[in-house]
Amino acid sequence: MQNSEKREKAYKLLAVQMGMSNSKAKELIDRGVVYVGNRKVVIARGELPVETKFRVLKLGKPIVIFENEEVLALNKPAFLTSDEAAGSFKNARLLHRLDRETSGVLLLAKNKSFQKRAEEAFKARAVYKVYTCWVKGVVCEPETIEKPIKTIKKNGVAYSKVDKRGKESVTHIEPIMIIGGRTKLRVVIETGRTHQIRVHLKSIGHPIIGDNQYGVASAQTNRMLLHALELKLLGYDFQAVEPKGFDVFAGG
């Protein structure tokens, strides 16, 4: 058999090529930052030719948007979990979470009093949350999606779907820009179900670009194009600028 025909598990090839442990290599693939050319490696145990050359994206660091004695607001980069983004800030507790590939506003409470008030605001839906995203297809008019969502968690992985037995979920969308069969949307959510925006947009035939779980992969972006743009609660208004390259289809 020729060398070009030999194959090995992706994480083992990456470990050898990058001089790291197998577990570290698998973690990077699971995180979504390992590429072969423009294609993301999504299955760590999938077999690839032994001569495969990998490209690993550099992880960004959270940026502090605002901080005082009661709250810390971060602009979380894609590919970091919310817990990882918060880990560098001692004596502060996460108030909510963003999906790993979602960038944008992430809030931490710095004292128990604010934490309690903020948690009550989230439960009472007294929080205003705005996202931006790029989706497949053309969305010409604003729309409200009211479809119940059910979340299933197995082996530490969550998967959500529209299901009449699910919880009430409300998402408002409005087109911002349309380019080449893709639409940039402004999204406001009234409820905060797991993967709500991703599931609702998939349900109307406009999945988020770069979303390998619910949407469509794209060679033009290395991430899911969903960003938490703004969050208002308890008299605060936090905004996180979109990362460079988010408007990839607009040439921005």
Question: What residue segments make up the domains of the chain, in order of their start?
Answer: 7-56, 63-246
User: Which CATH number among 1.20.5.510, 3.40.50.720, 3.30.2350.10, 3.40.50.10540 corresponds to the domain 63-246?
Assistant: 3.30.2350.10
Where is pLDDT greater, at 3 or 122?
122
Q: Identify the pLDDT of residue 5.
A: 74
Report residue 61's pLDDT band, with 50, 70 and 90 as the boundaries. very high
Report residue 218's pLDDT band, with 50, 70 and 90 as the boundaries. confident
Confirm if 100 and 79 have CB atoms less than 8 A apart.
yes
One fold for 7-56 and 63-246:
no
Q: Identify the pLDDT of residue 252.
A: 44
Once rounded to an integer, what is the mean pLDDT over residues 140-164? 93
Once rounded to an integer, what is the mean pLDDT over residues 13-38? 88
Instruction: Transcribe the chain into DSSP letters.
Output: --GGG-EEEHHHHHHHHHT--HHHHHHHHHHT-EEETTEEP--TT-EEETT---EEPPP---EEEEE-SSEEEEEEPTTS-HHHHHTTSTT-EESS---TT-EEEEEEESSHHHHHHHHHHHHTT--EEEEEEEEES---S-EEEE--EEEEEETTEEEEEE-TTSB--EEEEEEEEEETTEEEEEEEESS--TTHHHHHHHHTT-PBBT-TTTSB--TT-SS--EEEEEEEETTEEEE-PPPTTTTGGGT-
77: pLDDT strictly greater than 50: yes
CA distance 215 to 99: 14
Q: Identify the pLDDT of residue 33.
A: 86
Q: Identify the pLDDT of residue 1.
A: 42
93: pLDDT strictly greater than 60: yes
Where is pLDDT greater, at 37 or 52?
52
58: pLDDT strictly greater than 90: no
Once rounded to an integer, what is the mean pLDDT over residues 11-27? 90
Percent of the chain with pLDDT over 90: 70
Q: Which residue among 99, 211, 237, 247 is the active-site one?
A: 99
Confirm if 199 and 148 have CB atoms less than 8 A apart.
no
> Is 3.40.50.720 the CATH number for 7-56?
no
238: pLDDT strictly greater than 90: yes
Tokens of 130: 């705005």
pTM score, whole prediction:
0.85
Q: What is the mean pLDDT of the chain?
A: 92
pLDDT 10s digits, 155-164: 778 899 999 9
Residue 99 known to be catalytic:
yes
Q: Which amino acid, residue 152?
A: I
Once rounded to an integer, what is the mean pLDDT over residues 124-130? 96
Where is pLDDT greater, at 103 or 32?
103
